[in-house]
Each structure stands twice: as C-alpha cells, then as structure tokens.
Chains A and B, each alone.
Chain A
C-alpha cells in the first residue's frame, strides 16, 4: 500500500539556521503531496502542497518540490525562527474506490533555539 516515511526527530536548530526535513513516499499513480504543521495543543494546518511532478509548493518561507524520480518531497526553509517550533507531517493523498484519504508520515519535531 501507499506510505510515507519521514526523518526521525527531534531536529534541533539555532535561529536563522537552514532547515531540511526529509520525506519519501511509496505510491501507485501520482498522488498529491502535502506538508502539515501541528503546533503544541493544536490540530493540523496545511503548510504547502504540490499536485504533480516538479511542482514546488511554498508558504511562509517553506518550500518543497515534488520529485517523482526520487519519490521525495523534502521540506526546506532558509532561515528558521523560534516560532517555527512544531511537529511537521508529510502526507500524500490516496485515492480509494470513491474517496481520497490522507496518509501521513510519523512526524518530525522541530525545536528552534534563540
């Protein structure tokens, strides 16, 4: 079945450091890919998405490129802030018989120190 694998955390960085969180996927067909963020005590918020190969999703300084050849969707940010501390989930859309569902990775906790 379809699946998502993320790098294990926690990832600890100093403010203004460069961030990469790796995500690879296994899927039949060409799913849409997503990054969601979960701040402490909150639900999930969509951070960015890409719907086809070579698409780049971007939002709030975060970027990720849909790489079909490497089945990857790595999240990057050039300069992290303390407020970026959260858990980040990579996900893909899985088309069932009549509906889509999201398949999530296990999440990567990011801690940014001042």
Chain B
C-alpha cells in the first residue's frame, strides 16, 4: 500500500506566474482534499475532489483551481501568484466523501511554495 505522495517538494516562483502541484492519492482512495498551511498557522481547506468533480470549496479565490484524474490523482493550479500564496500545500486522500467524519484522511508531506 503506497501512501500519499506530492511533487515537487519545494519550488520557487515569481509573482504573477502560474504553478501546478501534484498529488497521488493512497491506493484505493477516491477523494482528494487540498489545504494551504501558511507559516506558523494551521492548514486551511482549499477544495476537495471526489470522483473527478469538485465536491466542496473553502474561502479561496477562483485563481485556485484543481483537477482529479480517473486514477484519483490530483493537481492544484494557482494562477497569478501573489506573495501571500507562499505556504506549504498539503494534499490529503480518503475513501468516500470525507476528509473527516468517520473516515481517516492521510496527508502527504506537502509542497513548499515560495513566491518572490
């Protein structure tokens, strides 16, 4: 059984650029959630994908978008990067429509994004 893997682990982008982060969910999991963790803060929910469709969204602007593929892996895309987008981006996979509830969410190690 493979865990949740994210790539890349670190990257640096310039303000205004676009970035794509990737996540492979744990084997057998069909739900992926993305979280943004600013330095010294708790993770904030961005959105969730279930069976290739967005299934819930947090308080993030439309320039944050995502995809889920038939193998349940997922991408997070951020357009027009701002300095405040610098954060650790965490992906969590789970089985069923929950990164919570009675189902356990398994987190990847995250992608550290720095916007300069």
Contacts and interface: CB of A to CB of B under 8 A. Distances in A.
B61 to A, nearest CB: 17
A99 B108 contact: no
Interface string B17-54: 00000000000000101010000111111001010000
Q: Chain B CB within 10 Å — which of A44, A89, A93 has the most? A: A44
A102 B55 contact: no
B43 A94 contact: no
B87 interface: no
A89 B42 contact: yes
Contacts of A22: none
Interface in A34-48: 34, 36, 41-46
B42 A101 contact: no
A69 interface: no
Contact of A107 (B41, B50, B100, B108): B41
Interface string A52-71: 00000000000000000000
Chain A interface residue count: which class? 20 to 34
A91 to B, nearest CB: 8
A43 B107 contact: yes
Contact of B45 (A41, A44, A103): A103
Given A45-B107, A106-B42, A32 B102 contact: yes
B109 A100 contact: no
Contact of A102 (B50, B100, B109): B100
B43 A101 contact: no
B65 interface: no
B42 A32 contact: no
10 contacts: A4-B42, A32-B101, A89-B43, A93-B98, A94-B100, A98-B50, A98-B55, A99-B97, A100-B97, A100-B100
Interface of A: 4, 31-32, 34, 36, 41-46, 49, 51, 89, 91-107
